[in-house]
Amino acid sequence: MGRKRLQESADGRPTVHTVAARAGVSIASASRVLNGVGGSPETIRKVREAAAEVGYVPNAIARSLQSQRTGLVALAVEDIGNPVYVEMMRAIESVVAASGRQLLVHATGGRIDNETALLRRLAHRYVDGMIVSPIRVTDDHLAALVDSPVPVVVVGQLPADAPVDNVRTDSRTGVGLAVDHLVAAGRRRIGFVNGPLDTVPGAARDAGFRSALARHGIALDERLVEIGDFRYAAGRAAAERLLARAEPDALVCANDLIAVGALHALLAAGRRVPDEVALVGMDDTELAQMTFPQLSSVSLGSAERGRRAAELLLQRIADASLPPRREQVAPSLAVRASSTTTPLFVPAPAEPAPAPRTPEVTA
């Protein structure tokens, strides 16, 4: 006869039945003891003993099918090599962990199909909810987001009427902060190294740069604008192209990875930073403090956005009927050595220095 109700699972590992049989009790009693609810002292002893002997470990999948939850939350980002996502992830992780859940990260590689596939697969109940930070948003993508089977919070720009929880920043204004700072420092030939214009952040930053220059009455020289992608190598290459045909006295970069690439290009070309060319990155990641000189960078509050996104998600998991919410985090500028010309080898002034700063690289 076919196995009717054996005591072990298909792959030979122990189940509640194994434990129950061994302890000489029903599976209900076994289950209760294993979950710490009820059971006479004697039963508890027997079950615990049996469980230990067979090395019982509960099947989380089965448990989830029953409880309708997995205790898992996912974060989908484009490029896990970008430190901005690391910061965001850390912030999310701490919130998620505090709720007794576990955070899983999935790198989509920026391929939209990949991201929608994720929503259509992983999200189909493997996780209790997910936070996704899409770099491009198509209608298809948006549709998948909207009728996701599990709660979703989007970090990043989204159409105004999209009924999805959303935490955003204003990178357009953020770029403006960088330009204002540089203009105030007397720079006029300000260059811009951006990522692809067909991405949401790329388009926003481009608009921000142009409007900021206009606001200051500076005519934009298109030779001072160059585009790569949002990674180091392309940023460096783009900066090299720009430097080969123009002479900026400042460079704004669409993120810190690009800025580090640009810094490399500048130093390799013999330009002194910040004396000849000031440099401002964006995202204000760890990376900005690793370079020499350290990078000024526009903070888009990635940790804060992550934290808020996690909170929104947990709230929605708890109550699916909540209306779609939208939160915004304001950008700010972290000024460091890469955009601050200071007198060198000059005795410290009697008044306290404006801010602790590492020495300049130039002599």
Partner DNA sequence: TTGTATGCGTTATCAG
Partner DNA sequence: CTGATAACGCATACAA
CA 285 to chain centre: 11
For the window 144-183, what string marks contact with DNA as x by the rule CB under 7 A?
----------------------------------------
Report if residue 338 touches DNA, rule: CB under 7 A: no
Instruction: Give the residue, chosen from 3, 161, 319, 346, that forms a contact with DNA under the rule CB under 7 A.
Output: 3
- For 204-224, give one letter per residue: b (16+ CB within 10 A) or e: bbbebbbebbeeeeeeeeeeb
Q: Phi/psi class of residue 357: alpha, beta or left (left: φ > 0; alpha: ψ in -120 to 50)? A: beta
Report in angstroms the alpha-carbon separations of 43 from 20, 53, 147, 279, 309.
Answer: 10, 15, 47, 70, 45
CA 1 to chain centre: 55
Query: ∠ CA 76-79-85 to the nearest 5 degrees?
Result: 70
State whether residue 302 is helix, strand or coil. Answer: helix
Q: Which does 166 bind (CB under 5 to 8 A by kind): a copy of itself, DNA, none?
A: none
Nearer to DNA, 11 or 139 (CB): 11
- Within residues 112-141, the interface with a copy of itself by CB under 8 A covers 118, 120-122, 124-126
Amino acid type, 208: G
Report if residue 149 touches a copy of itself, rule: CB under 8 A: yes
Q: Which one of 33-41, 79-87, 130-138, 186-194 is the stretch in contact with DNA (CB under 7 A)?
A: 33-41
Q: Which does 15 bind (CB under 5 to 8 A by kind): DNA, a copy of itself, none?
A: DNA
Report if residue 286 touches a copy of itself, rule: CB under 8 A: yes
- Within residues 20-79, the interface with a copy of itself by CB under 8 A covers 55, 57-62, 64-65, 68, 70-72, 74
Report if residue 100 touches DNA, rule: CB under 7 A: no
Least distance in angstroms from the C-beta of 126 to DNA: 13
Closest CA to 300 of 261, 260, 256: 256
Least distance in angstroms from the C-beta of 246 to a copy of itself: 21
- For 293-308, give one letter per residue: b (16+ CB within 10 A) or e: bbbbbbbbbbbbbbbb
Q: Which does 322 bind (CB under 5 to 8 A by kind): a copy of itself, DNA, none?
A: none
Instruction: Give the residue, chosen from 53, 63, 146, 221, that forms a contact with DNA under the rule CB under 7 A.
Output: 63
Report if residue 358 touches DNA, rule: CB under 7 A: no
Q: Which one of 66-74, 170-178, 244-252, 321-329 is the stretch in contact with DNA (CB under 7 A)?
A: 66-74
Can you read off the two tokens belonging to residue 221?
Answer: 């020289």
Residues 201, 206: Cα–Cα separation, whole Å: 8
Taking the alpha carbons at both ends of the chain, their separation in whole angstroms is: 88
Residues found near a copy of itself in the complex (CB under 8 A): 10-11, 13, 55, 57-62, 64-65, 68, 70-72, 74, 80-81, 83, 86, 89-90, 93, 102-107, 118, 120-122, 124-126, 147, 149, 232, 260-261, 263-264, 267-268, 270, 286, 289-292, 320, 358-359, 361, 363
